[in-house]
């Protein structure tokens, strides 16, 4: 009989695998993101593919389980994701995303899960995830449920950022399909990056407000909100290592895994 390594992704587990994992009272990681244009050189799944990879790394480090990702997210906005202009970007209404996260957590709680960590990769999702989690907490009133939620780039320290951006860090909104995401994709999914098409456009030039209908002129032609030149596999590996170390440490601390 072939011995299988313990799978960490629920999508690859059998139900007996999952039942066995539940005996360890695991933290369940929920990757969230969206389906959205990411310039001419990156696939449209970046925002959920990176969280899935990060969740798998952290789950292996702390002995957790990774739920199937939520692959659709809140609507792309021109100033942080390029907006609705590009073929392929698919946005949920905010209430749909909140309700999805709420339902998934409720189901995990029904399985006996007590600790959930949501790792997100799409800037616009933030408050709708918070809302879904808050409603899930209300649903679980009286039960033992603890939920953590983060957007991965918030774990980058000034020291790491100084190495990834030897010039100036343009800020996470402009870092759409640029150096940060391209480097992480070169680390986790090198065969999905079209290195010959890495764009070198000027930063998006938008005023400090949103406007409807969305303004096409605010968004660079390429879809990347600033240059992706300077992305490298080494920078991706550096950020991924920091995520593995620091997100694992935060998870252990907040969920009392060391106790
Ligand atoms: Zn992205
Ligand atoms: Mn995004």
User: CATH no. for residue 36?
Assistant: 3.40.50.10310
Mean pLDDT of 67-74: 98
pLDDT(244) > 60? yes
Q: Could you report the per-residue pLDDT of 117-137, keeping only the tens digit for each?
A: 999 999 999 999 999 999 999
Which listed ligand is nearest to 51 at the C-alpha? Answer: 1
- CA separation for the pair 149, 139 (Å, rounded): 18
| φ, ψ dihedrals at 149, nearest 5° | -145, 135
Give me the mean pLDDT over the 211-231 stretch. Answer: 96
Structural domain boundaries enclosing 178:
10-254
Query: Closest ligand to 80 CA?
Result: 2
Ligand 2 centroid distance, CA of 75 (Å): 9
Hey, which residues does 56 pair with through a beta bridge? none
- Rounded mean pLDDT of the chain? 96
Confidence at residue 47, expressed as pLDDT on a 0 to 100 scale: 98
Distance between CA atoms of 78 and 41, rounded to whole angstroms? Answer: 19
4 found inside a domain: no
Q: Is the pLDDT of residue 210 over 80?
A: yes
Interacting residues of 112 by C-beta distance below 8 A, sequence separation 6+: 22
Sorting pLDDT into bands at 50, 70 and 90, what band is 1?
Answer: low
**Residues 6+ away with beta carbon under 8 Å from 57:** 240, 243, 244
Number of domains within the chain: 1
Query: Does pLDDT of 218 surpass 90?
Result: yes
CA of 234 to the centre of ligand 2 (A): 22
The number of the ligand nearest the C-alpha atom of 72 reads 2
Tell me if 1 is assigned to some domain. Answer: no
**pLDDT band, residue 178 (cuts 50/70/90):** very high
| CB hemisphere CA count around 166 (13 angstroms) | 5
| DSSP codes of every residue in 185-231 | HHHH-GGG--GGG---PPPP---SS--SS--GGGS-TTS-SS--TT-
Q: Is the pLDDT of residue 160 over 60?
A: yes
User: What's the gap in Å between 222 CA and the centre of ligand 2?
Assistant: 15
173 — pLDDT class (breaks 50, 70, 90): confident
Per-residue pLDDT, averaged over 59-73, amounts to 98
Whether residue 173 contacts residue 123, with contact meaning beta carbons closer than 8 Å, is answered with: yes
Residues whose CB is under 5 A from ligand 1 (ion)?
Answer: 46-47
Is the predicted pLDDT of residue 2 greater than 60, yes or no? no
Burial of 17 (C-beta count, 10 Å sphere; 0-12/13-18/19+): middle
Residue 2 forms part of a structural domain: no
By the CB criterion, residues less than 5 angstroms from ion ligand 2 are: 47, 81, 122
Crossing angle, helix 233-254 and helix 46-62, to 10 degrees? 50
SS3 250: helix
Output the CA 111–ligand 2 centroid distance in Å.
31
Please give the distance, rounded to the nearest whole angstrom, from the Cα atom of residue 139 to the centre of ligand 2. 29
Catalytic residues: 36, 38, 47, 122, 124, 176, 181
pTM, 2 dp: 0.97
- Give distance in angstroms: CA of 4 to centre of ligand 1: 34
Q: Which ligand is nearest to the CA of 180?
A: 1
The reply to whether 3 falls in a domain is no
Residue pLDDT, tens place only, 4-57: 677 899 999 999 999 999 999 999 999 999 999 999 999 999 999 999 999 999
Distance between CA 183 and CA 238 in Å, rounded? 9
């Amino acid at each position: 009989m072939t011995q299988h390594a313990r799978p960490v992704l629920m999508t690859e587990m059998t139900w007996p695998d999952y039942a066995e994992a539940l005996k360890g009272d695991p933290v369940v990681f929920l990757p969230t993101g969206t389906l959205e244009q990411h310039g001419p050189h990156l696939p449209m799944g970046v925002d959920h593919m990176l969280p899935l990879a990060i969740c798998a790394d952290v789950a292996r480090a702390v002995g957790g389980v990774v739920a199937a990702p939520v692959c659709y997210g809140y609507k792309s906005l021109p100033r942080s994701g390029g907006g609705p202009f590009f073929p392929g970007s698919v946005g949920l209404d905010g209430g749909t995303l909140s309700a999805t996260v709420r339902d998934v957590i409720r189901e995990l709680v029904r399985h006996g899960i007590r600790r959930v960590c949501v790792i997100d990769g799409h800037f616009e999702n933030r408050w709708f995830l918070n809302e879904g989690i808050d409603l899930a907490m209300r649903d679980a009133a009286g039960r033992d449920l603890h939920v953590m939620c983060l957007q991965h780039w918030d774990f980058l320290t000034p020291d790491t950022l100084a190495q990834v951006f030897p010039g100036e860090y343009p800020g996470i909104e402009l870092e759409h399909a640029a150096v940060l995401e391209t480097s992480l994709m070169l680390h986790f999914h090198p065969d999905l990056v079209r290195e010959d098409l890495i764009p070198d456009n000027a930063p998006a030039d938008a005023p400090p407000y949103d406007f409807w209908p969305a303004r096409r002129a605010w968004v660079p032609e390429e879809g990347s909100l600033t240059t992706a030149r300077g992305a490298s596999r080494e920078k991706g590996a550096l950020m991924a290592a920091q995520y593995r170390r620091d997100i694992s440490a935060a998870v252990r601390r907040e969920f009392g895994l060391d106790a």
